[in-house]
Amino acid sequence: MKVTQYSTNKYGESVPYELRKALYMGGVSKAIPSREPSENDFLGFGVAITGASCYNLSKMEKTERRALIEDLYGKKDGGFSVARLTMGASDYSAELYTYDDVEGDVALEHFSIERDEEYIIPMIKEILDVNPDLYIFASPWTPPAWMKTGNSTCGGHMRAQFVDCYADYFVKYIKAYGEHGIRIRAVTPQNEPETQQFGYMPACIWNPDTEVAFVSALRKRLRENDLDDVEIWLNDHSFSYVNRVDWQLATYPELKGESGGVAFHYYEGDFAQTEFLIDKYGVRLHYTESGPRLYDHYDNDWCKWGIMLCRALNFRYHSFTGWNLMLDETGGPNIGHFFCGGLVTRNRLSGELSYSGQYKAFKHFLKYVKRDSKISPICFDRDCYWMTNYPKDTKPLTATLVENSDGSAALMLVNPNPEKAQVQYYRGGEWWYIELLPDTLATVTFEK
Q: Which conformational region is residue 365 in: left (phi greater than 0), alpha (psi within -120 to 50 degrees), or beta? A: alpha
What's at 94, amino acid-wise? A
Q: How far is CA 95 from CA 128, 151, 202, 396, in A?
A: 24, 18, 11, 40
Tell me how far apart the alpha carbons of residues 176 and 112 are, in angstroms, rounded to a whole number: 8
Do strands 135-140 and 186-187 pair parallel, antiparallel, or not at all (unpaired)? parallel
Tell me how far apart the alpha carbons of residues 58 and 80 are, in angstroms, rounded to a whole number: 20
Angle, CA 356 vertex, CA 354 and CA 361 arms, to 5°: 135
pLDDT grade, residue 30 (50/70/90)? Answer: low
Q: Other CB atoms closer than 10 Å to residue 70's CB: what's the count?
A: 14
Tell me how far apart the alpha carbons of residues 47 and 56 are, in angstroms, rounded to a whole number: 15
pLDDT grade, residue 19 (50/70/90)? Answer: very low
pLDDT digit string (tens) for 242-284?
999 999 999 999 999 999 899 999 999 999 999 999 999 999 9
pLDDT at 18: 46
Phi, psi of 411, rounded to the nearest 5 degrees = -95, 110
> What DSSP string describes 388-418?
GGTTTS----EEEEEE-TTS-EEEEEEE-SS
User: Stretch 102-109: mean pLDDT, rounded?
Assistant: 98
pLDDT digit string (tens) for 425-442?
888 888 888 999 999 999
Do strands 353-355 and 344-346 pair parallel, antiparallel, or not at all (unpaired)? antiparallel
pLDDT digit string (tens) for 134-190?
999 999 999 999 999 999 999 999 999 999 999 999 999 999 999 999 999 999 999
Burial letters for 376-395: b for 16+ Cβ neighbours within 10 Å, e otherwise? bbbebeeeebebbebeeebb
Do strands 421-427 and 44-48 pair parallel, antiparallel, or not at all (unpaired)? unpaired
**Cα torsion angle, 310, 315, 318, 324, sign:** negative
Beta strand ranges found along 254-379 (DSSP E) = 260-265, 284-289, 317-324, 326-328, 344-346, 353-355, 374-379
This prediction's pTM: 0.92
Is 52 a residue whose pLDDT tops 90?
yes
Are 437 and 303 a contacting pair, CB within 8 Å?
no
- Max Cα-Cα span within the chain: 74
User: Stretch 356-381: mean pLDDT, rounded?
Assistant: 88
Tell me how far apart the alpha carbons of residues 399 and 401 are, in angstroms, rounded to a whole number: 7
* SS3 state at 197: helix
pLDDT at 6: 59
Please give the span between the terminal C-alpha atoms of the chain, in angstroms, as a whole number: 5
* Burial of 28 per CB tally in 10 Å (0-12, 13-18, 19+): middle
Instruction: Give me the numbers of helices (H) and strands (E) for the chain, helices first please.
Output: 10, 23
Comparing 320 with 36, the larger pLDDT belongs to 320
What single DSSP character describes residue 198?
A: G
**Cα torsion angle, 432, 384, 291, 41, sign:** positive
* SS3 state at 106: coil
Tell me how far apart the alpha carbons of residues 235 and 249 are, in angstroms, rounded to a whole number: 11
Across the strands, what pairs with 398? 414
Tell me how far apart the alpha carbons of residues 442 and 158 are, in angstroms, rounded to a whole number: 46
Tell me how far the alpha carbon of residue 188 is from its chain's centroid: 13
pLDDT at 27: 46
Radius of gyration of the chain (CA): 22
Tell me which residue of 319, 298, 324, 294 sits closest to 309, measured CA to CA: 319
